[in-house]
Structures are given as C-alpha cells and as structure tokens.
Amino acid sequence: MISFLICLALLIGGYFVYGKIVENTFEPDDRETPAVKINDGVDYVVMPQWKLFLVQLLNIAGLGPIFGAMQGALWGPVVFLWITFGTIFAGGVHDYFSGMLSERNNGASISEVCGIYLGKFMKNVMRVFSVVLLVMVGTVFAVGPAGLIVTLFKNGNVTGLLASPELWLWIILAYYFIATFISIDKIIGRIYPVFGVCLVIMAVGVCIGIFTKSEFVIPEIWSNFRNMHPSATPVWSVMFITVACGAISGFHATQSPLMARCMNSEKQGHFVFYGAMVAEGVIALIWAAAGCSLYEVTGGLSTGLSDILANGQSAAIYDVCSKTMGGIGIVLAMIGVIVCPITSGDTAFRSARLTLADWFGIDQTKYGKRLILCVPLLGAGAIIGHLDYTIIWRYFSWTNQTLAMIVLWTASMYLFQQQKNYWLTAVPATFMSAVSMTYFVYAPECLNLGTAIAYPAGIILAVIFLAIFVRATKRQKKQPEPAA
C-alpha cells in the first residue's frame, strides 16, 4: 500500500514539476489561438478550460486506463512503475506536444503535424495509418457496447427486438453520425463533462473501497518485484504494450487536435493535455491496484485476476465495482462499460473526418461537405462491424504504441528546429521505439521470433532510429515558428 501511495504522490507531483518543465520548454504565449482566429462554429469553437479538460480526459480515456491497467496487473505491482513514470516522462509529454503542435498549426490533425516536421512521406503514411486506426477504434467501440446492452437485456429475460445486437449497433452508429456531423459543442461539449466526472467518481469509489475494506491489501513493489503473470508472459516489452492508456497511447495524439481547436489560450495546454494524461494515469494506477489486491495469488502468480479477466472486460469491471462499492458500484460499472466506449468511438470517427478533411482540403463549415466525409466513414464502420476483425484487432496495441513513437519523434524534430531541449522528447521516443520494435519482433501475431532475438533487435533498432534522428538534425537549420 505504501508503494501505491508513493506512486500516486509522484503522479500528482509530476503534473506540477515535470509538467511545468515541459510547458516552459514549449513556451506557450499570448498569440491568437485557432479557436479564436478561425471559429467556424463547427470544429473551431471556444470552450471553457474545465470543459476542455473533462472532454479531453474522456476522449483519451474511455475504458482504456481501466481494462489495460487490470491486464497490466497480471504482472503484479511492477506495473505501478510503468504507469507512474510512463505517464510523467512519456505519456504527458506525448499528449502535451501532440495538442500544442496542432494548436500552433491551426488545429491540424496529427498526420499533418507529423508531415510538417518529418516530411511528406511520413505525412502520407500517417494519414492512412490514422484513418484506418480511427475507423477501427470507432467500430469496435460500437460493436462492444451493443453486445453489452444485449447481454443486460437477456439477463433481465428481455427478448425480441430489444435483445437484437443488430438494432443496437445501428442505434450507436446513428449516434456516431450525429456526433461526428454537428458542432463539437452541441453534444460532445455538453454531455462529455458529465461522463468524465462519472469516470473519475468510479475510480475514486474503487480506491476508497480498497482502503476501507480490510480484506483488500495492495501489495508492495519491493516485496513483489518479479513477473507474476500466470502465463509467464515477459514484462519487456509486452507489459509496456498492454498498458497503453494510463501510461502512453498514440490514440491520444489523434484526439488532442479536437481540443486544440477549442482553446482560448495556449497557456491552457498544461492543464488540458498534460493534466488530463496525469488524471488518466491516476485512474489507471487505482485500477491496477484493484487488480493486484482483490484477487487470489497462487504460487506468486496472479491466478485469480487471470480467471476473472477470462470472462471479459465488462465482467472484470463489474466484479471490481461490486466488491468495492456494492450497489452504487454496479450502476457506475454499467455506465462505464457501456458509455465510456461509446464516447471514445464517436470522437474516433470525428477525428477521422477531420483527418480526411485536412488531407483533401475539404471545407467543413458546409453541411454538404461534412456529409461527403461522414457518410462513407460511418458506412465503413457499419461494414466492418459485421466482419470478423478479431485477428486484425490484435495488431491494435502495437500500432497504437508505434503511433506514439512517431509523434514523439515529431516533437523532437520540432524542438530541434526551435533550438530547444529536444532530449525532452527524444529520450521517450527512443524508449518507445525499443518497446514497439521489441514487441514487433517478439509477438506471435507479428514476427514471432522469441525474446532471444527480440530483445537485442529492439534495442538495436531503437539506437538506429536515434541515429537517424541525430543525422537528420545535422542537415537542418532552425525553422521559423508558425505566425502568431
């Protein structure tokens, strides 16, 4: 329990100390923001800072810091270290720069931002990569909640049309269409803050439940500094890929431009971007602690947690909430497993629309122009929702962290061009390169070459990426800042 409290204190302190270092390195100023300068009433809309924070938190979080953290707890309390230091030195940095570089470039999508600093080839790669990833995320977060709603009805002995997953899939996709199409402040800006508060309350309730019930004891890191995974799955680099939201996630970079288009001042970035990532890290830390403390450990392995996770993420969340909070916890769990994925899905499709709009230069102030993009995007979602995408989805974790790696390299090039401390982002970029490449060589769904080859290969490839970056810096001169 002491190690959990230390990690929690480090996360909170990290926001005020390291987050301030990150902000001072970027040097936000009083220039006119895209929300004020463009203000098209659709995607560029000024919103208050508290609302920006809660919308950003829900955009990047959903169920990610809950289920990912519980999966990470299979390795034991060592996951606390990754959540804590990953959030402070990688995730918060990644989210801040993905948001602020978008803000400095008129709210551009992350693919366009990468192109500005890494070149045309990387821009085109990121365009395709981002759209495919976003449509995949949006579709999965439609199919999953539809299935959960049907399960609830069936458990209540409700049959007929209401128990049809097809009906609920189309209802959710219809909502996605509306949320993707209309102004960001009409639905997302109004209801997201409410659900963001629910996400925070659920985490706080779980934390209080753990501390107030004597049967739950959070294990200490120093007493369990080993791999507790029942399948002996290696910590490096599988745990770092598994726990994405709550440490660092490339998906966040696709969401940050949404809020970059709604800021009234650059100085809001510390609270909105770095702060939301720290909040997500705290949520993930609490859920990882729940996974480590609520379930049986046999022979030093997390067997009890493995058993409950085998029943699915909704069952695991339901079980934790009911054990820690009772009846109110069950209600919060139902909100979490149904609403949170939906709120990540609709912003995924909205981000996909904006990415395509930036790609092809399509003005989004006109209804007809937005329909040109919304209809095919949601149509693709409807088709994919009826396919067996299970195998494809296995690649999501790797592609997600690879995207984070690319965004950190982008930020590094920006800082170099501005003659600022680029090691602030280059170090986590190199680390994430090692994580991503090691997993790609090791994972069964990728090259499947085992740890003996994957470990040295991942390190060597990360060093090569760093060398490529250093060589590129020697060929460039300082670039001018985007005009104020």
What are the chain's domains? 2-21+38-396 (1.20.1740.10)
64-72 and 313-325 helices cross at what angle (nearest 10)?
90
Least confident of 104-118, 140-154, 454-468: 140-154
Give the whole-angstrom CA distance, residue 26 versus residue 415. Answer: 8
Q: Note the pTM of the prediction, 2 decimals.
A: 0.93
pLDDT at 58: 87
For residues 185 and 45, the answer to whether their CB atoms sit within 8 Å is yes
Query: CA angle 363-368-371, nearest 5°?
Result: 95
Is residue 390 very low, low, confident or very high in pLDDT (cuts 50, 70, 90)? low
Least confident of 156-165, 326-335, 398-407: 326-335
Q: If you search the block for the tokens 């085998």, which residue do you land on?
A: 310
Is residue 483 very low, low, confident or very high in pLDDT (cuts 50, 70, 90)? low
pLDDT in tens, 62-97: 777 888 899 999 999 999 999 999 999 999 999 999
Structure tokens given for 82:
């990754």
Share of the chain above pLDDT 90, in %: 64
- Percent helix, strand, coil in the chain, to 5, is 75, 0, 25
Annotate 96-162 with DSSP letters as a single string.
HHHHHHHHHTTT--HHHHHHHHH-HHHHHHHHHHHHHHHHHHHHHHHHHHHHHHHHHHHHTT--GGG
Is residue 476 very low, low, confident or very high in pLDDT (cuts 50, 70, 90)? confident
Which whole number is the average pLDDT over 303-318? 82
Which whole number is the average pLDDT over 207-213? 92
Is residue 296 very low, low, confident or very high in pLDDT (cuts 50, 70, 90)? confident
Give the whole-angstrom CA distance, residue 169 versus residue 101. Answer: 35
pLDDT at 388: 59
Which whole number is the average pLDDT over 106-110? 96
Residue 62: closest CA among 148, 137, 149: 137
Which whole number is the average pLDDT over 355-363? 94
For residues 277 and 95, the answer to whether their CB atoms sit within 8 Å is yes
Q: Which of 75-89, 143-157, 288-302, 464-478 has maximum average pLDDT?
A: 75-89
Give the whole-angstrom CA distance, residue 241 versus residue 398. Answer: 6
Give SS3 for 298: strand
pLDDT at 317: 81
Query: CA angle 90-93-97, nearest 5°?
Result: 140
Least confident of 59-63, 184-188, 246-250: 59-63
pLDDT in tens, 391-401: 555 667 788 89
Structure tokens given for 468:
């490529």
pLDDT in tens, 253-284: 999 999 999 999 999 999 999 999 999 999 99
Least confident of 134-143, 199-208, 235-244, 260-269: 134-143
pLDDT in tens, 6-45: 999 999 999 999 999 999 999 999 999 999 999 999 999 9
pLDDT at 478: 60
